[in-house]
Amino acid sequence: MSLFRFFKQELAVDLGTANTLIMMDGQVVVDEPSIVAIDRRTGQTIAVGHRAMQMHEKTHEHIKTVRPLKDGVIADFQAAEAMIEGMIRMVGRRNSFFNHLKMVICIPSGITEVEKRAVFDSADHVDSKETYLIYEPMAAALGIGLNVEEPVGNMVIDIGGGTTEIAVIALSGIVCDQSIRIAGDEMTNDIIDYMKREHNILIGERTAEQIKIHAGAALEELDAPPEDYAISGRDLMTGIPKQIRVSYKEVARALNDSIAKIEEAVLRALETTPPELASDIYKTGLYLTGGGALLRGLDQRLHQKTKLKVHVAEDPLRAVVRGTGLALERSEHYSFLIDRKSV
């Protein structure tokens, strides 16, 4: 058995729209942006992850940067393969002739069979011998330490880059869920639109992302507000670069509509929850994971809307990959994993 383990490589993969994380032997070994830079002339991959992100929106005609995942699913098949292969190379593969690669990959709960097949095909192309899929809310629940096998209802809200996954989990299964394509990317676009509309300044995706990190908020009144954040962009009137300072109140106004849609989805999920599980959720509250959980005041806003306790997970960005890692360790035990043979 130990000899077989020597030739076996097991990876837990959180294939996210914004970031891809890979866990091996209980450690997060890759945490990179989900982006790849490609040479247009040859089709060769130039860079993956952070290096490709540094090139994003700064390329000339011979280089293009591609984000292979859109709304939580693979949108560009070839770029996704190049990205997964590049990131697995970062882990350090042994000689593939001797190597048995086993992967557990997490996917959005609202994914279609065709989109599922695309994930399996990408895994096949990087020579995965065993591939399992796990739904993101289930992985998030495992990652934050919930006992998913108990007959107790827990509601998990995972706000990622492309999708917000809301699920009520009990007895190792998802009882009811809502998967909406309003998440981090949509919020980034909201900020770009707001800056254009209110300040006549054009900013890029990376700058909008920085605004979200440094001055992002879900409420216009916070107990510990962040400082105003200085941003540079192009003045739409003169075409000359200029700098302005943005306050968290402005960001809260920019994100208001997207957060309202997330609130509506949470209420829809609660409406469809069976009464006994609703009773459990009243006691346990809501669990927030994913990058969106870091948005200042989001827990307070959800509490005001639902009147339920809201818990923000510790290290919410890595909750899903930690849960995927736990599922990998006990893949024979967990019935909710989707094996490639059953799809």
Q: pLDDT tens digits for 127-183? A: 888 999 999 999 999 999 999 999 999 999 999 999 999 999 999 999 999 999 999
Do 244 and 205 belong to one domain?
Answer: yes
pTM, rounded to two decimals: 0.91
For the chain, percent of residues with pLDDT exceeding 70: 95
| Shared-domain flag, residues 297 and 158 | yes
**Quick one: 195 and 324 in the same domain?**
no
Q: Indicate if 91 and 28 belong to the same structural domain.
A: yes
Are both 190 and 284 inside the same structural domain?
no
CB-neighbour burial class of residue 105 (10 A; exposed 0-12, middle 13-18, buried 19+): buried
The residue with greater pLDDT, 181 or 340, is 181
Instruction: Provide the domain limits for residue 88.
Output: 2-139+320-342
CB 183 within 8 A of CB 221: no
- Looking at the structure, do residues 263 and 250 belong to the same domain, yes or no? no
For 2-22, what is each residue's pLDDT tens digit?
444 556 789 999 999 999 999
- The 3-state secondary structure of 26-41 reads CEEEEEEECCEEEECC
The DSSP bridge pattern shows strands 19-24 and 241-246 to be unpaired
Could you read off the pLDDT of 35-82 as tens digits, one per residue?
999 999 998 999 999 999 999 999 999 999 999 998 888 888 889 989
Q: Which residue is listed with tokens 């043979």? A: 341
Judgement on whether residues 170 and 196 belong to the same structural domain of the protein: no
Both 264 and 196 in one domain: the answer is no
DSSP state of 222: -
The CATH number for 266's domain is 3.30.420.40
Tally of structural domains, the chain = 3
Mark whether 177 and 307 lie in a shared domain.
yes
